[in-house]
């Protein structure tokens, strides 16, 4: 199966999953009230995040064929995404300023004068196109890494907090060890060992990123385990596995959601740092910024490349943090109780 | 006749600085079906540990050392973990002290009670939910059908305790352990809950082990009383006999410290000091350090429990015929 088919199926699965999740949230009164409150507080930020997610999804739906402007033989045999198809305007040969009608060096006429809203880069690629393609990469880094780090953190944290004893000692040892290695060095070492690529970078970020949530869930589980309703469940003959699934995990969910949002922005930033060191994910904003760093010293300055990447990253992270901040207020059990 | 629950020679220990420290020593009692036994004592006397030991839920690193617990003739201590799990809730159920924290805040109360039913009986979800509504009605929750969808924080303390009782009774247990069921409630609500427990107990014939430090509650609910001090039962008697004619100096002290029985204007009598911690227990009678009538023998030897008449006994040297000098 070709990669683009897999990607399409994944998008379909994500959309279906999102709809199912929305229905579950809608049916559960506590969650639907919290989400309603979140929407009232942070409508703008939610819309920005939703726009970014839509772009990321549109950039993941791809198919072959279709018309190609300017006899680009290679392009007509590649699977191109919806975003690619929107930006299939003629390629330029090198830099051009935003909305310019001639190239930046030399002043030659452009193939698509005025058509590049954010200009073109060294290789003549449309900067807006690249910035938008970076959305998918950023979401992939944040999402995939969270998908690795959060289950790992929950498994270790809840296990350690609930059962204690040897397992707790082991988990605590691993956490302390990871925390005492400078995370950037560890990341570099892991990526060197695993090889470069999206999966590898996400795995490395995941391995270094789970400790924080694990620490929180371990502590919270220890607290919950001692509460009377866990004791009451034991007295009713409920098994440990069921207590964890029914009583511990739901009471940890608000922590997980908040951590997910905060972890996400932290991960996108970490990737930018990795890209700066030359070991990031290809196509990311970090890579754009890294490639653009020499352009800043040119005269006249080439500013649009780095600005586009930085602005896109800034907007996404600001919106995510705004939503995350409100989410923390909304999901805090104390405020929850006050609103009902 | 087999008792609903029979406990014999139960000892529980926790690891301490000098080896294992007994916190419960040689505790035994039996409760017949439909009977209420109150276990009375100050904080730290081992009442709650007794309850947890009957459920085999002694918190780690505690351990049951010796003894036996039999539920309607069935020995519980040798059971495997899954077997014990099926006994908990179904045969032997428990109500906790704190209704505020005994219910999970993120699950509706109806679902929590239904969970207990579904766990022990193979009934459909719908049938379980119908039972929950009926149970809520029987424990006097107004608007029961709607309340099953409420979350714990939407209910008052009294209603929550009613939910807890409904949960504990949902599987029709033979024995119900109530660990200070009304301590966290207002006085008016306390009376309602006690009345409810008495009614339900008459209806279902459940045996109740009532754990409390409140002699008022004992008077309301109990048939027989066992007084506990520092991990041991020091006196046992039918309720009326114990309240009107306490024999053991500790029981006498407890009764004298009830405000309602003291004369107005007079200073309330108290038992000096507090229950000593398990690693501080004196040799001889454990009450000897606080007892007003203790003599030399009390500090050297451990008094055994002796019958004082039909259905009553006490462990005190002062009550032995040859004592008194």
Tokens of B289: 């350090």
Mean pLDDT, residues B153-167 taken together: 86
Read off the pLDDT of residues B210-254 as tens digits, 9 standing for 90 and up.
Answer: 998 888 888 888 999 999 998 889 999 999 988 888 889 898 888
Specify whether the backbone of A165 is left (phi greater than 0), alpha (psi in -120 to 50) or beta.
Answer: left
Among candidates B182, B181, B228, B251, which has minimal Cα distance to B47?
A: B228
Residue B274 to residue A288: CA distance in whole angstroms? 72
Place of tokens 């973990």: B81
How many Å separate Cα A158 from the centre of its chain? 24
CATH number for the region A128-339 comes to: 1.10.3720.10
Cross-strand partners of B40: B212, B227
Q: Is A335 on the interface with B (CB under 8 A)?
A: no
> Would you say residue B127 has pLDDT above 80?
yes
Picking from A237, A250, A340, the nearest residue to B107 by CB comes out as A250
Residue A107 has pLDDT above 60, yes or no: yes
Comparing CA positions, the residue from B81, B49, B18 lying closest to residue B177 is: B49
pTM for the model stands at 0.75
Q: Where are the domains of chain A?
A: 128-339
Region of B121 on the Ramachandran plot (φ > 0 left; ψ -120 to 50 alpha; else beta): beta
Q: Would the ipTM clear 0.85, i.e. be above it?
A: no
pLDDT at position A315 over 90: yes
How far apart are the two ends of chain B, measured CA to CA in Å?
A: 42
Preceding amide of A300 cis, omega within 30: yes
In chain B, what residues touch A243 (CB-CB under 8 Å)? none
Give yes or no for residue B166 having a pLDDT over 80.
Answer: yes
How far is residue B25's CA from residue B111's CA, in Å, rounded to a whole number? Answer: 39
pLDDT higher than 60, residue A46 = yes
Identify residues of B whose CB sits under 8 angstroms from chain A CBs.
55, 57, 60, 85-90, 93-94, 96-98, 101-107, 115-116, 119-120, 151, 153-154, 164, 167-168, 171
**Cα A278 from Cα A188, distance rounded (Å):** 10
Q: Beta partners for B288?
A: none
CA distance B112 to chain A (A): 9
- B20 vs A334: CA distance, rounded Å: 41
Q: Point out the residue among B104, B115, B119 whose CB comes nearest to the CB of A251.
A: B104
CB contact under 8 A, B96 and A247: no
Which string of DSSP letters, residue by residue, matches B154-167?
GS-HHHHHHHHHHH
User: Which tens digits make up the pLDDT trace of A133-150?
Assistant: 889 889 888 888 988 999
Q: Are A218 and A171 in contact (CB under 8 A)?
A: yes
Local confidence band at B325 (pLDDT 50, 70, 90 cut-offs)? very low
**What does each C-alpha distance from A153 to A42, A183, A200, A276 come to in angstroms?**
28, 17, 19, 28
* Pairing of β B207-212 and β B224-229: unpaired
CA distance B118 to A66: 58
Residue of B nearest to A228 (CA): B102
Could you check whether the bond before residue B124 is cis, i.e. omega within 30 degrees of 0? no
């Amino acid at each position: 199966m070709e990669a683009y088919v897999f990607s399409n199926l994944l998008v379909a699965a994500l959309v279906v999953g999102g709809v199912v999740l929305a229905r579950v949230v809608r049916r559960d009164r506590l969650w639907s009230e919290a989400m309603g409150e979140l929407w009232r507080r942070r409508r703008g930020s939610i819309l920005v995040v939703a726009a970014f997610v839509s772009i990321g999804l549109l950039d993941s739906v791809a198919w072959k064929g279709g018309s190609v402007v300017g006899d680009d033989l290679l392009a007509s045999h590649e699977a191109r995404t919806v975003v690619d198809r929107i930006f299939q305007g003629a390629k330029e040969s090198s830099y051009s300023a935003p909305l310019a009608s001639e190239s930046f060096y030399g002043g030659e006429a452009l193939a698509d004068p005025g058509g590049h809203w954010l200009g073109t880069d060294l290789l003549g690629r449309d900067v807006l196109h690249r910035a938008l393609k970076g959305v998918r990469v950023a979401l992939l880094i944040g999402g995939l890494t969270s998908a690795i780090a959060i289950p790992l953190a929950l498994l270790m944290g809840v296990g350690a907090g609930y059962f204690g004893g040897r397992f707790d000692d082991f988990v605590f040892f691993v956490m302390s060890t990871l925390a005492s290695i400078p995370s950037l060095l560890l990341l570099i070492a892991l990526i060197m060992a695993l090889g470069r690529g999206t999966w590898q970078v996400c795995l490395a970020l995941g391995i270094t990123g789970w400790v924080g949530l694990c620490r929180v869930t371990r502590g919270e589980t220890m607290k919950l385990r001692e509460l009377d309703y866990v004791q009451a469940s034991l007295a009713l003959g409920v098994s440990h596995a069921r207590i964890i699934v029914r009583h511990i995990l739901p009471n940890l969910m608000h922590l997980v959601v908040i951590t997910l949002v905060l972890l996400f922005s932290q991960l996108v930033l970490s990737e930018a740092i990795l890209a700066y060191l030359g070991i990031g994910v290809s196509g990311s904003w970090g890579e754009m910024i890294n490639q653009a760093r020499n352009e800043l010293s040119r005269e006249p300055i080439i500013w649009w490349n780095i600005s586009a990447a930085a602005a896109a990253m800034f907007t996404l992270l600001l919106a995510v943090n705004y939503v995350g901040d409100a989410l923390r207020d909304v999901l805090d059990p104390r405020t929850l109780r006050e609103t009902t | 006749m087999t008792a609903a629950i029979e406990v014999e020679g139960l000892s529980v220990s926790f690891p301490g600085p000098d080896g294992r420290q007994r916190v419960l020593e040689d505790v035994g009692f039996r409760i017949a079906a439909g009977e209420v036994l109150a276990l009375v004592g100050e904080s730290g006397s081992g009442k709650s540990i007794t309850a947890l030991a009957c459920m085999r839920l002694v918190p780690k690193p505690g351990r049951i050392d010796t003894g036996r617990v039999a539920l309607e003739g069935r020995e519980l201590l040798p059971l495997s973990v899954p077997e014990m799990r099926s006994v908990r809730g179904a045969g032997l159920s428990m109500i906790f002290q704190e209704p505020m924290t005994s219910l999970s805040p993120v699950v509706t109360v109806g679902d929590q009670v239904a969970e207990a039913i579904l766990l022990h009986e193979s009934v459909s979800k719908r049938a379980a939910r119908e039972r929950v509504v009926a149970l809520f009605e029987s424990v006097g929750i107004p608007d029961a059908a709607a309340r099953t969808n409420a979350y714990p924080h939407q209910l008052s303390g009294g209603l929550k305790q009613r939910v807890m009782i409904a949960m504990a009774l949902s599987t029709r247990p033979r024995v119900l352990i109530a660990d200070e069921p009304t301590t966290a409630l207002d006085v008016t609500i306390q009376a309602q809950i006690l009345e409810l427990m008495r009614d339900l107990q008459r209806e279902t014939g459940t045996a109740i082990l009532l754990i409390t430090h409140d002699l008022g509650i004992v008077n309301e609910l109990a048939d027989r009383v066992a007084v506990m001090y520092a991990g041991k039962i020091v006196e046992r008697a039918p309720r009326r006999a114990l309240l009107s004619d306490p024999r053991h100096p500790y029981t006498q002290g407890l009764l004298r410290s009830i405000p309602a029985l003291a004369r107005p204007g007079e200073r309330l009598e108290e038992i000096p000091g507090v229950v000593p911690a398990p690693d501080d227990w004196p040799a001889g009678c454990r009450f000897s350090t606080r007892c007003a009538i203790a003599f030399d023998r009390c500090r050297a030897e451990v008094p055994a429990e002796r019958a004082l008449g039909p259905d009553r006994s006490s462990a005190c040297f002062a009550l032995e015929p040859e004592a008194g000098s």
